[in-house]
Amino acid sequence: MNLTSYIRDIQDFPKPGIIFKDITPLLANPTAVNECLQQLLQNLNGQKIDKVVGAESRGFFFGTLLAHELNAGFVPVRKPGKLPYSTLKATYELEYGTDTLEVHTDAIKPGERILIHDDVLATGGTAKAVCELVERLGGVIVQCNFLMELSFLNGREKLAPHPVFAPLVY
């Protein structure tokens, strides 16, 4: 199945000059969702995963599906003020300014094997911040998964030495 046929290009979104890769047509098709999920799972080669960490908010779509299929827990990483319990924060650079992500302080136990998932790997800032949170809590990152990678932005370099996989690469 050609998953790229389920990704819609939106010109000049969210600002002029950007071509946004819209995943909603893929999410609307259960066959495409299942194919994408199977590709993400196959790439893990049966590795043991204790928790799947999903980045807000589009990382939750496949993150929860992966956790279910792997019989693993799911950990949401969210924007500040969205989690009700004690949190750990990581701030990261954006093109203009900074942003912050949070995770519950008890979400990951030292030594747990972690799969990180988000929808897109672009510049790598968000994923690097998620990696930092996982490692500060003592988690062992098995892999960073994405639905798609925008390889021309070189985000993979920021995640080294962690393995990175995306079934769709642009």
Contact 165, 40 (CB under 8 A): yes
**What is the dihedral sign for C-alpha 13, 157, 75, 37?**
positive
**89-115: pLDDT as tens digits:** 999 987 677 999 999 999 999 999 999
Residue 112 among the catalytic residues: no
Q: In whole angstroms, give the CA distance from residue 74 to residue 86.
A: 17
- Strand blocks (E) in 19-139: 19-22, 51-55, 73-77, 87-94, 97-104, 113-121
Instruction: Write out the two tokens for 45.
Output: 């080669």
Task: Say if residue 161 is preceded by a cis peptide, omega within 30 of 0.
Answer: yes
Question: Pick the catalytic residue: 56, 69, 78, 95?
Answer: 95
Instruction: Supply the pLDDT for residue 95.
Output: 67
Q: In whole angstroms, give the CA distance from residue 59 to residue 118.
A: 4
Residue 95 among the catalytic residues: yes
Mean pLDDT, the chain, integer: 96
**136-168: pLDDT as tens digits:** 999 999 999 999 999 999 999 999 999 999 999
Task: Taking residues 120-134, report their average pLDDT.
Answer: 96
Model confidence at 31, pLDDT cuts 50, 70, 90, reads: very high
Residue partners of 123: CB distance under 8 A and separation at least 6: 95, 153, 154, 155, 158
Question: Kind of pairing, strands 19-22 and 8-11?
Answer: antiparallel
> What's the CATH fold of domain 47-169?
Rossmann fold (3.40.50)
Would you list the domain boundaries of the chain? 47-169
Contact 48, 111 (CB under 8 A): no
Question: Pick the catalytic residue: 58, 69, 132, 135?
Answer: 58
